[in-house]
Structure 1
Amino acid sequence: MRPRRSVLYMPGANERALEKAKSIDADALILDLEDSVAPDAKEQGRENVVAAVRSGEYGHRELAIRVNSIGTEWHDADVKAASQAGPDAILVPKVESAEQVLALVAALEKHGAPEHTQLWAMIETPRALLHAEEIAAAHERLTVVVMGTNDIVNETYGLHVPGRNATVLTSLAWTLLAVRAAGKVVIDGVYNAVKDPEGFEAEARQGREMGFDGKTLIHPSQVEPANVAFAPSADDVERAQGLIDTFEEAKAAGQGVVTFNGKMVEELHVRDARRILAFHEALQGR
């Protein structure tokens, strides 16, 4: 159970940003070669992120390299360089089918990506949304799905509104169901207004309530509130432990009905409590 509460995009062509990222307490970093890198800086960005991964100086932070999308002039070189660098993951934008997932897995293997390098895929187009289940289940090397909410708004001709529009919320829920059915991890999209901390915290809470594992971020100031929003509180941990203890004691005593804090407890509540404790322990062990 690897924490991915805060997944921060860092521009691959910006060496100062890559250096600063070594001190930011994000669970994961996406070293970006796509949207944040201008066409004439793609090659330099590729060299930068490969050097960053090979430096081994990012501590507990999970490192993913986001390559340019399939069909672009930079994609093949990006995948080759990223595979040989051996990051924790390679993130591919605009994945739209199971066939593309299989082709990407084959490309990672062809270029010698080590076994620990996972494939992450972005869901951000109508076609991808309609095929989310088959994408998520296409191959075991695909372990994480990342929502591209800005592109979803753009490609559906929608509007960015507080609380997110109905199409985005439907897309989030639909993809979350598909990814959970495949037993994978799913990360919420970005919040654009970096000077609106209250709005960010509200959207992070919304994502957590929906069931996302964490949120992608575009500014270091969003890291701490994301870490808080997607982690169990001290009260959550105490309640989870109390529920488990109560349930185990009742089972040992042969009781058929178990209650905790005035509510009936079933196996599903115990499973959820154990998940909360396991996640808390994973955070303490970083």
Structure 2
Amino acid sequence: MAALRRSLLFVPGGEPRKLERAREAGADTVIFDLEDAVAPPQKAEARRHVAAALRAGGFGVTEAAVRINAPGTAECDADLEAVVESGGRTIMVPKAERVEEITRVVETLQRLERGRAGEPGSKLLLLVESPLGVAQALAIGRCAPGIEALCFGHADFALQLGLPDADPSRGIIYHARCALVLAAKACGLAPIDTVHLAVKDEAG
């Protein structure tokens, strides 16, 4: 059964204190971010911090997930290896837009998981952040086992389109959000909406 993911909290993977505090945040899922929240020179160090947090456990009913670096990057396979070796089960795959890239991630995970004790199979949350990803959402949502959700990232989507206004509540961004919900439901997956960037606006 898929986890109940009503609230998801992104935590920078390179900040050990925030990783520690995430255990008490109260979110359904905490996502340790190895991608956008970590500068390239700090990727390896952040990976070690996240692996240590996963091994330490103590998250209770909160699901611990990791946003890896995008498929096709130099960091992706190293991230996958670190997550599997430290007992991580849930992986957010950013820049999800091509079937062949998602299937390669799944094949890499299956190879890494062969020697892992316990229940096999990682859970994948596919983060769609581009016009191509929205157009291919049905295909990528059905392309491999273990996919549980299609998520939308409006900031990078707006950036790719060169939009001066990245308001997710209107225009083509709102249209893309709706399209992703339809694709997710057609695939039997959970749709997860875009991030709330105004972190001090608790009502929004």
- Whether these two folds match at TM > 0.5 is yes
Alignment of 1:126 with 2:131, yes or no, is yes
Partner SS, residue 120 of structure 1: strand
Partner SS, residue 100 of structure 2: helix
8 A Cα contact 1:159 1:165, kept in partner = no
Partner SS, residue 111 of structure 1: helix
Alignment of 1:105 with 2:130, yes or no, is no
- Matched residue, 2:122: 117
C-alpha deviations, 1:141-162, integer Å up to 9, x for none?
1112221111111111223355
Displacement after TM superposition at 1:87 (Å): 1.6
Higher Rg: 1
Task: Tell me which amino acid in the other structure corresponds to 2:139.
Answer: E
Unaligned runs of 5+ in 2: none
Alignment TM-score, normalising by the size of structure 1: 0.66
Partner SS, residue 140 of structure 1: coil
| CA 1:118–1:8: 2 relative to 1, 3 Å | same
Residues in 1 aligned to 2:168 and 2:126: alpha-carbon distance in whole angstroms: 25
List aligned pairs for 1:103-252, cutoff 5 A. Answer: 103-112=104-113, 115-160=120-165, 164-198=169-203, 200=204
Residues in 1 aligned to 2:131 and 2:65: alpha-carbon distance in whole angstroms: 25
C-alpha deviations, 1:199-249, integer Å up to 9, x for none?
x2xxxxxxxxxxxxxxxxxxxxxxxxxxxxxxxxxxxxxxxxxxxxxxxxx
C-alpha deviations, 1:123-150, integer Å up to 9, x for none?
0011111100011111231112221111
Partner SS, residue 108 of structure 1: helix
8 A Cα contact 2:12 2:34, kept in partner = yes
- Matched residue, 1:53: 54
Identity %: 33
Residues in 2 aligned to 1:163 and 1:71: alpha-carbon distance in whole angstroms: 28
Residues in 2 aligned to 1:63 and 1:87: alpha-carbon distance in whole angstroms: 7
Residues in 1 aligned to 2:129 and 2:31: alpha-carbon distance in whole angstroms: 17
List aligned pairs for 1:63-102, cutoff 5 A. Answer: 63-102=64-103
Structure having the larger proportion of residues in helix: 1
| CA 1:2–1:26: 2 relative to 1, 3 Å | same
Residues in 2 aligned to 1:73 and 1:121: alpha-carbon distance in whole angstroms: 19
Aligned length: 199
Alignment TM-score, normalising by the size of structure 2: 0.91
Residues in 2 aligned to 1:75 and 1:24: alpha-carbon distance in whole angstroms: 27
Partner SS, residue 110 of structure 1: helix
Task: Tell me which amino acid in the other structure corresponds to 2:61.
Answer: H
Partner SS, residue 80 of structure 2: helix
Unaligned runs of 5+ in 1: 201-286
| CA 1:68–1:123: 2 relative to 1, 3 Å | same
Partner SS, residue 65 of structure 1: strand
8 A Cα contact 1:121 1:144, kept in partner = yes
